[in-house]
């Protein structure tokens, strides 16, 4: 078992990634992983579309209330967790086929999300602008994750398990991406953290 959230800086972030993966991989599902993930990609796209449309109203509500209401927070949180499950599955960072609901503690690579907290309204108003540096990093880390998944595909096919180095770097990138999304979609006022990087 590996732990992605290792440092206090990461542990105290309201969006935390929990890694309970045992590194074992089923060669057959690894071989067909991209095909198997297609239903999830379709469902993820539909969900994301709804979120983009509703996102503007969520932003207005948060701007007035200073935070997301509990129901909306749970909805966006579930989507963020679901996308983490799907990307963990498609990037070979975990083995089981994920559920479609984004329920907590339902997948080996999971996301813990703290309840909504009061946020600075100015921060909410300029949220998308403020998130640009984080998006830039998340984009680069997404490319890194794709390269890791490509190499990991061969590794997992040959050995029947995932390399620990690929897994730790991949979950690090995935966690940063989830925190960026959570920040952009107002789940938290805390900026994504680069802490918890694998040691040099």
What is d(CA 23, CA 132) in angstroms, rounded to the nearest whole number? 33
In the complex, least distance from residue 21 CB atom to other proteins, rounded to whole angstroms = 15
The mark string for 97-136 relative to other proteins (x by CB under 8 A, - otherwise) is ------------------------------------x--x
Is position 199 an interface residue for other proteins (rule: CB under 8 A)?
Answer: yes
Q: Which stretch binds other proteins (CB under 8 A): 29-37, 49-57, 115-123, 142-150?
A: 142-150
b (16+ CB within 10 A) / e for 107-117: bbbbbbbbebe
| Burial status of residue 136 (CB atoms within 10 A of its CB: 0-12, 13-18, 19 or more) | exposed
Q: Sort 13 into a burial class: Cβ within 10 Å, 0-12 / 13-18 / 19+.
A: buried
Nearer Cβ to other proteins (44/180): 180
H helix or E strand, kind and range, residue 109:
strand 109-113
| Residues binding other proteins: number (CB under 8 A) | 25
Q: Which position among 36, 51, 103, 144 is part of the footprint of other proteins (CB under 8 A)?
A: 144
Nearer to other proteins, 3 or 101 (CB): 3
Contact 188, 14 (CB under 8 A): yes
Q: Out of 28, 34, 105, 151, which residue is the one contacting other proteins (CB under 8 A)?
A: 151
Nearest residue (CB) to other proteins, 53 versus 200:
200
Q: Residue 180 in contact with residue 192, Cβ under 8 Å?
A: yes
Longest CA–CA span in the chain (Å) reads 54
Q: Which stretch binds other proteins (CB under 8 A): 17-25, 34-42, 146-154, 178-186?
A: 146-154
Total residue length of the chain: 200
Torsion over CA: 49, 51, 53, 56 (sign)? negative
- Give the shortest CB-81-to-other proteins separation in angstroms: 23
> Which range, of 68-76, 79-87, 100-108, 192-200, touches other proteins by CB under 8 A?
192-200
Q: Which residues bind other proteins (CB under 8 A)?
A: 9, 133, 136-137, 140-141, 143-144, 147-148, 151, 163-166, 168-169, 193-200
């Amino acid at each position: 078992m590996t732990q992605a959230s290792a440092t206090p800086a990461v542990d105290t972030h309201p969006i935390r990634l929990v890694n309970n993966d045992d590194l074992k991989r089923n060669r057959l599902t690894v071989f067909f992983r991209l095909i198997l993930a297609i239903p999830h990609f379709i469902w993820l796209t539909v969900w994301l579309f709804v979120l983009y449309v509703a996102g503007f109203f969520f932003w207005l509500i948060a701007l007035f209330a200073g935070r997301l209401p509990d129901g909306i927070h749970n909805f966006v949180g579930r989507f963020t967790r679901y996308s983490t499950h799907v990307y963990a599955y498609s990037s070979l960072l975990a083995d089981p086929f994920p559920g479609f609901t984004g329920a907590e503690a339902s997948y080996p690579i999971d996301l813990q999300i703290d309840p909504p907290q009061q946020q600075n309204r100015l921060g909410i108003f300029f949220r998308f602008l403020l998130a640009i540096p984080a998006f830039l990093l998340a984009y680069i880390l997404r490319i890194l994750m794709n390269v890791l998944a490509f190499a990991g595909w061969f590794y997992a096919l040959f050995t029947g398990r995932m390399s620990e180095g690929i897994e730790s770097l991949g979950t690090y990138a995935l966690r940063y991406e989830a925190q960026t999304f959570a920040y952009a979609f107002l789940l938290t006022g805390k900026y994504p953290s680069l802490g918890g990087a694998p040691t040099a």
